[in-house]
Amino acid sequence: MSSNILANAIASTRRTFMSVAAFSCVVNILMLTGPLFMLQIYDRVLTSRSVPTLIALTGLVVGLYFFMGIIDLVRYRILTRIGHRFDEAVGRSAFLAQVSAPVQAGPLAAKSEPVRDVDQLRQFFSSPGVTALFDMPWMPIYIAIVFAIHPMLGMLALLGAVILFTIAFVTDRVARPAMKVSGEFSTQRNAVVNSGRRNAEVLHGMGMLGAVGTVWDNVNEKFLAANAKAADVVGLSSVMSKIFRLFLQSAVLALGAYLAIEQYITPGAMIASSIIMARGLQPVEMAVQNWRGMLAAQQAYRRLKTLFDRPTPVQAIDLPAPHRDLTLDAVTVLPPGSRTPTLLDIRFQVKAGTALGIIGQSGSGKSTLARALVGVWPAARGTIALDGAPLPQWKPETLGRHVGYLPQDVELFEGTIAQNIARFDPEAQDEKIIAAAKIAGCHDLVLSFKDGYSTAIGDQGATLSAGQRQRIALARALYGDPFLIVLDEPNSNLDGYGDSALNRAITICKQRGAIIVVVAHRPSALSATDKLCLIENGRMADFGDRDEVLKKVMRREKVDNVRPTPQLQGRRPAASDGADDPQQAEAATAQASTSSSNA
């Protein structure tokens, strides 16, 4: 992630902010229209009793107010456009960072919400708090004008400004910690809601809705307490600043009346000084009222800056399409956010046109290896290379075209079947979509739907069964004829026909020169593989031809006096696929791969 993204976004709006400052200058000058009008009314019109003068002054004031309204509206619209430009510059990077957080920085970073932070900043740019910040530098000028009317009035206005700034300073000191805690609990609350939506079927089916609701209540209670504390502080400060400003306006008016009685100033100057002082202190009051939004925007900016200040990865280039081999050299993998490796010193090489099966007990590290092979979890040590080029040297978009991945937990996106198979490629060709579906054996399945490939599958493929989702996800993995295809438990939800289609797809991909890696517990998924890799406790216990590895596993099981799984004892030998004893092979695979969940 480039550290210059946020800086460039801010820099691109700098000249626009200068125009906002210029418009603010005009607006604040025109704000003197009211006080000057009152001064002329009291000191000129009333004394001269001149109606033409009154009409002329009134017409001039109407024109100035109309012009000020236009300028103020333009200023507001410019600030709104600044927010939109900032979102356009940063929004995509924030989105990519948010969806990549679980695989890049672990569970804690997965809770970060940079998209919401961008929204917070965009909304802040068009809030009254920003205009208050642009108007605040004019406060000394307004106070100086009051000083010019009379020093005593100026001293009173200056004292009022100091008190209002003190209120704002105390508000910042007290509200900032509460806002930080409120933001943290807000993130936790959103995480509970999102988790509940993803697992709605489990919550309803197992009667867990009330229990999870209690978890949400606990988090929400803490959020409301922190939010209420921040709101109480800002609310108290807002009321205090508002009441004090009104009192100060009356105090200036009273002091001005005394000075007018003593004939130090005119009655018009008395009224004008009160209005000018109130206008000069109004930005401080406005800033206090919007302090929560200002703090939230500041915290959002800091979070985005921390996110975008991460080291920039090595600049990748467009490498030639891989066609030769996959090599792992001393690969060690740590899950994101963890310091404990789940894979240690994995070494092997697979040539093009080969299918490799990964077997091992649950928790041995098979799924970790699958994630590492496609670059989801980077290697902490060692290298994973395609045709000798380590994965970090590939551009992610380029590498993605050469890789097909079917994860253990199948996730489809809201859209049509065709869009999901085509990986949402806007330039996808129908021929390639249909070809991938046919290889995966789901073409007829798709045609059985009323709308065929245009069928909308809903959020996470809610309208499909688990087996249908898995077959469509397999077609997605095969789309575009990728060189490396990694399938993690590809037949966990398939029936007999689906198993046959899977093995046929593996055979077809081998014939065109692809490398297929199959992580499996069920032996039927390994019938089309050529080699096997046995993972035990995160280490490679064996690697070689499928039949040789299975024989070693069988011999080990016999030594340990472990009998084959009962379900496999009565199976008839399958058609020859290269194994000397398919029945023993399946039994050995079943013993080597127990249970259905992975590390």
What Å distances lie between residue 249 and 136, 143, 147, CA to CA? 18, 13, 15
pLDDT tens for residues 550-597?
A: 888 777 766 664 444 444 333 333 333 333 444 444 444 444 444 333
Bridge partners, residue 333, by sequence: 343, 379
DSSP letter string over 528-591?
A: T-SEEEEEETTEEEEEEEHHHHHHHHHHHHHHTTPPPPHHHHTPPPPSPSS-S-HHHHHHHHHH
CA dist 10 and 168 (Å) reads 26
Q: What is the reported pTM?
A: 0.68
Please indicate, yes or no, whether residues 191 and 270 belong to a single structural domain of this protein: yes
Does residue 233 fall inside a structural domain? yes
- For the chain, how far is it from start to end, CA to CA, in angstroms? 28
Question: In whole angstroms, what is the distance from residue 171 CA to residue 182 CA?
Answer: 16
The count of structural domains within the chain is 2
| Cα 505 to Cα 405: distance, rounded to the nearest angstrom | 14
Q: Is residue 213 part of a domain?
A: yes
- The CATH number that applies at residue 119 is 1.20.1560.10
* Co-location of 72 and 221 in the same domain: yes
Please state, in angstroms and rounded to a whole number, the distance separating the CA atoms of residues 518 and 506: 9
Residue 595 forms part of a structural domain: no
Q: Do residues 515 and 326 make contact, with C-beta atoms less than 8 angstroms apart? A: yes
Residue showing tokens 């008016």? 253
| Burial group, residue 460, by CB count within 10 angstroms (0-12, 13-18, 19+) | middle
Q: Domain range for residue 248? A: 5-309
Q: Give backbone dihedrals phi and psi of 94, rounded to 5 degrees, phi first.
A: -65, -40
Three-state helix/strand/coil letters over 222-262: HHHHHHHHHHHHHHHHHHHHHHHHHHHHHHHHHHHHHHHHC
- φ, ψ dihedrals at 493, nearest 5°: -120, 15
Handedness of CA 105, 108, 110, 111 (dihedral sign): negative
- Residues recorded for the chain: 599
- Predicted pLDDT at 106: 52
Could you give the CA distance from residue 5 to residue 304 in angstroms, rounded to a whole number? 10
Residue 359 sits in a domain whose CATH number is: 3.40.50.300
Could you tell me the CA-to-CA distances from 207 to 198, 204, 213, 558 in Å, in that order? 15, 5, 11, 45
Q: How far apart are CA 450 and CA 464, in angstroms?
A: 13
CB atoms within 10 A of CB 243: 11
Q: Are residues 228 and 367 in the same domain?
A: no
Q: Is residue 590 part of a domain?
A: no
| Nearest one of 138, 144, 427, 402 to 282, comparing CA atoms | 138
Question: 523, 444, 443: which is closest to 479 by C-alpha?
Answer: 443
Backbone angles phi, psi at 97, to 5 degrees: -65, -40
- What are the residues facing 197 on neighbouring strands? none
Could you identify the residue written with the tokens 């709006």?
13
- Coil, helix or strand for 189? helix
Residues 477 and 338 in one domain: yes
Which residues of the chain are modeled with pLDDT < 70?
Answer: 1-3, 101-112, 198, 201, 310-316, 557-599
Helices (H), 31-150: 33-40, 46-48, 51-104, 106-110, 114-125, 128-135, 139-149
Residues 22, 99, single domain; the answer is yes
Report yes or no on 563 lying in a domain.
Answer: no
Give the per-residue pLDDT at 92. 85
290 lies in the same domain as 433: no
CA atoms of 373 and 484, how far apart (whole Å) = 9
Domain final residue, candidates 281, 309, 337: 309
244 and 336 in a common domain: no
Ordered alpha helix ranges (H), 337-461: 366-373, 396-401, 417-421, 430-440, 443-447
The answer as to whether 454 is a domain residue is yes
Task: Report angle CA 80, 28, 18 to the nearest 5 degrees.
Answer: 45
Residues 287 and 433 in one domain: no
Question: Is residue 270, in this structure, part of any structural domain at all?
Answer: yes
Q: Is residue 333 located within the same domain as residue 304?
A: no
pLDDT in tens, 444-477: 999 999 999 999 988 777 778 888 889 999 999 9
Residue 526 within any structural domain of the chain = yes
> How far apart, in Å, are the Cα atoms of 75 and each of 30, 57, 351, 559?
14, 27, 64, 83
Tokens standing for 416?
Answer: 């049509």
Dist. CA 234–CA 231, nearest whole Å = 5
Query: Considering only CA atoms, which of 317, 314, 326 is closest in space to residue 404?
Result: 326
Burial pattern 305-336, b for ≥16 Cβ within 10 A else e, equals: eebbeeeeeeebeebeebeebbbbbebbbbbb
| Residues 513 and 322 sit within 8 Å (Cβ to Cβ) | no
Query: Which positions ≥6 away from 366 have C-beta within 8 Å?
Result: 358, 359, 360, 488, 519, 535, 598, 599
Residues 428 and 515 in one domain: yes
Does one domain contain both 281 and 380?
no
| Same domain assignment for residues 297 and 358 | no
